[in-house]
Structure 1
């Protein structure tokens, strides 16, 4: 028994001397870490790359880490050539392993992003865990804001998504999800849209719905108003709120706080039609009323009926809007393929009918029962 313990201790001692970390202080001081990448294209379809970087500095004699923010621009016929263009003006090696966000401009998604996705997929230094975004505004405005902001763009977007990933009006997508969905039967995936919002003193980045991509090109957008309906349909709502017009005052709203949701999906075949069924269950309570409200069973039944009909209407509208454009945002083809081994036909979406069943539970108010 003692010999076994001595052997284990010797192994641990030998292992400790053989361990080498990824970076030591000297290594870090010679590297520029990329925290965010923006892919853009000019009028001649040349790649324009923007890298939001930190030049780190660490000292073994100091407890604090130091770093300098640097914004690089590279151009070339390909993304790799654009990176080499940046290397010609950077005195330190570029390291992409700490990147936190891939951002594509409107020019890039309209032209097609397959070449960029292939680069990310094939180069082991490019991580596939970061979130993926589309910015539809003027790139100069985003860059101006990035230069004046103290936060690194990639780290800021990473934190913003993490905080809001289950918010009903936010559509979240990371690179790994996108790569998987683009290879499925309908080659369709949705990326997070961002834009700039006028704030009190300056502009701020905000999450603004999603960009629908098919065959690596943009085919549509889902705005904030439709993002809630879309997220309910794909079972991606955990928290949030619903607003109902108070019929007694007509101008005031009653707010329901979402406590729990669940959406189940099934598909069946009926003659020459496919019935896509979505069962949406929501548990809520009354969080706010803009006018005095006496809460009783009659009121709760009325609110339940109104909001259930509203959710049915808006979810069907979102599906029908894209169905008319032959865009399968609910991945019906994948469901048909799994259940029936269905082979795609050009007009298969025209045979799909969406049935939405909503069960809304309202528990009354949170703190003071039956008064608000």
Structure 2
């Protein structure tokens, strides 16, 4: 028995050598957010928000901010280590944020390090911020000390909304390998006020061929999410059929979008079959919902979803921006088919079914 325990201890020591010891952690700084900006010469400026792994006197984590510059992002990263008495570890990074200026120059100049450096985790959120790195890190967030954790929590709450976007580093890197090389990232805005500065998610930032080229508004994001099957929860409004001056808010319980691709006479026929289950979340004024009235409400809801999806598709079709993965879907269905500017040769058809259930206002 003693021999067995001794062998077990030896193997445990071998297998656990790769883990951080208490002393190792005490010598490390853990990054929560990495922000990529550029200077006036378009050279990278890297900001890192971090905390120390262990404090002997207190469990309170101090927020540390580092700034590094260089000719390349790796150069800036190494210069940050020169300004810190502890090594910065990136395995806990919650958000990788590019400023608009850096994203306008092009991701290809900066993104390679995030794929090569093993410490950067693939599930980190990727975002675009409208301002500068200095602005973002100087914002005082009332309910959270760390920007990276705050952004992570904001994006985690996207599941309750259909008007926001989530994109991980892994998803971005995969999108760069697809035919259209187009991705939509979370867009962070800065509400500048004298009394309180606030950051919030507002729609999406469109990246194509590694460059930030356009925006999705919050309303357009709703239609986009329906088309690409990314709606799970959320709210949208329709007019109250019993009082045209009032609104009814429908809360989405679930939604599923199925895609059908056909190549017919030189054009792509794209069919989106959307099945959405809702409940009445709020009614301005009374709504007496017998079956006939609920049928009317479901028809109005389907009409609203059709309006949202048709509007966003039409806008980006005119701009020749395939944010809907059409080219990739066509390649999977017809691998030998070669069509230039594929979204310009695509006809969209939507088949929308809305079911309203479990409403206290329904009268049988």
TM-score by length of 2: 0.92
1:22 Cα deviation (Å)? 2.4
Aligned residues of 2:38 and 2:101 also touching (Cα < 8 A): yes
Question: What's 2:240 paired with?
Answer: 246
Query: What is the aligned partner in structure 1 of residue 363 from structure 2?
Result: 370
Whole-angstrom CA distance in 2 between matches of 1:141 and 1:163:
24
| Equivalent residue number for residue 8 of structure 2 | 12
What stretches of structure 1 of length at least 5 have no aligned partner?
Answer: none
Q: Post-superposition shift, 1:315?
A: 0.4
CA distance in 2, matches of 1:83, 1:134: 20
**Distance change >3 Å, CA 236–CA 199, structure 1 → 2:** farther
Q: Which residue of structure 2 aligns with residue 236 of structure 1?
A: 230
Q: Of the candidates 298, 305, 314, which is equivalent to residue 304 of structure 1? A: 298
The SS at the match of 1:345 is coil
Q: Partners in 1 of 2:273 and 2:195 — Cα distance?
A: 44
Q: CA, structure 1 residues 207+304, in 2 after alignment: closer, same or farther (shift >3 Å)?
A: same
Could you tell me how far 1:214 is from its partner in structure 2?
Answer: 0.9
The answer on 1:162 being equivalent to 2:166 is: no
Query: For the residues of structure 2 that align with 1:138 and 1:148, how far apart are their CA atoms?
Result: 20
Deviations 1:230-252 (A, max 9, x none): 11111111111121122443332
Question: Could you say if the C-alpha distance between residues 300 and 255 of structure 1 is closer, same or farther in structure 2, counting changes exceeding 3 Å?
Answer: same
- Which residue in 2 is equivalent to 1:29? 26
Task: Tell me if structure 1 keeps the 8 A contact 2:267–2:346.
Answer: yes
Task: Find the counterpart in structure 1 of residue 265 from structure 2.
Answer: 271
Are the counterparts in 2 of residues 234 and 263 from structure 1 also a CA contact under 8 Å?
A: yes
- Mean alpha-carbon deviation: is it higher for 274-283 or for 310-319? 310-319
Partner of 1:42 in structure 2? Answer: 39
Match of 1:79 among 65, 73, 84: 73
Partner of 1:328: 322
Q: Distance in 1 between matches of 2:98 and 2:256?
A: 32
The change in CA–CA distance for 1:148 and 1:159 in structure 2 (over 3 A counts) is closer
Q: Deviations over 1:97-129 (max 9, x none)?
A: 221110000001100011322011111122222
8 Å Cα contact 1:300-1:364 kept in structure 2:
no
In 2: Cα distance, 1:40 partner to 1:363 partner = 48
- Corresponding residue number in structure 1 for 2:255: 261
Task: Answer whether contact 1:195 1:208 (CA < 8 A) is retained.
Answer: yes
Aligned residue among 196, 201, 212 for 1:202: 196
Query: Quick check: 2:137–2:147 contact (8 Å CA) kept in 1?
Result: no
- Cα drift, residue 204 of structure 1: 2.4
Match of 2:113 among 116, 119, 141: 119
User: Does the CA contact (< 8 Å) of 1:146 and 1:152 recur in 2?
Assistant: no
Distance 1:323 1:147 in 2: 39
**What is the Cα deviation at residue 65 of structure 1?**
3.1
Q: Equivalent residue for 1:214?
A: 208
2:136 match: 142
SS in 2 for 1:323: helix
**Higher deviation after alignment, 174-183 or 204-213:** 204-213
1:23 Cα deviation from its structure 2 partner:
2.0
> Secondary structure in 1 aligned to 2:324?
coil
RMSD, aligned α-carbons = 2.4
